[in-house]
Amino acid sequence: MKTFKELTVVTPNKPGKLAQALGEVSKAKVNLIAIDSSSGYDLNMVRLVANDPSKARRTLEKLGYNVTETTVLGISISDQPGQLARIAAIFSKSRVNIDYMYASAVAYDQPAMVIVHVPDVDTAEKALRKAKIN
């Protein structure tokens, strides 16, 4: 488990807008660890976890985007049934609400990284450590 800075921008939901933003982040030599892109008709909310959040933020702001930043948890889980249910149950028992989450895996049958936004990161981390989830 690790905390990350997550950046959020809202882009127009039009062809090429996401490509432009991601292209500029790439040109800045910033590596994306995780991404979530959700459309809301005219707008697209893009959440990024990057290896260099400060550089990613500056790059996106140069494009004119308003960038917000929050702390999220990155939790490694094995590719087995019930892993997300286990995480949710641990948080539930500790009364930690999951605001949202998204995940990525390198390949089938490999560990995945789940990005979780919770209102109280410290309580969430303590609950995970108590459950022996690193």
Q: Quick one: 71-130 is in which CATH superfamily? A: ACT domain (3.30.70.260)
Q: Specify the domain boundaries for CATH 3.30.2130.10 within the chain.
A: 2-69
Alpha-carbon gap, residue 119 to 93, rounded angstroms: 15
Handedness of CA 74, 10, 16, 100 (dihedral sign): positive
- Phi first, then psi: give them for residue 57, nearest 5 degrees: -60, -50
As a whole number of angstroms, the distance between CA 84 and CA 98 comes to 12
Q: What are phi and psi of 124, to 5 degrees?
A: -65, -45
71-118 pLDDT tens trace:
999 999 988 899 999 999 999 999 999 999 998 777 777 788 899 999
Residues contacting 8, CB < 8 A, separation 6+: 45, 46, 47, 48, 67, 68, 69, 70
Strand partners, 3: 73
List all residues 6 or more positions away from 123 whose beta carbon is below 8 Å from its beta carbon.
Answer: 94, 95, 96
pLDDT in tens, 21-55: 999 999 999 999 999 999 878 999 999 999 999 99
Residue 108 is predicted with a pLDDT of: 75
At position 105, the amino acid (one-letter code) is A
Tell me what pLDDT residue 80 has: 86
CB 13 within 8 A of CB 42: yes
Structurally, at CATH architecture level, domain 2-69 sits in: 2-Layer Sandwich (3.30)
* Overall pTM surpassing 0.85 (yes/no): yes
Domain with CATH 3.30.70.260 in the chain: 71-130
When pLDDT is averaged across residues 48-66 and rounded to a whole number, the result is: 97
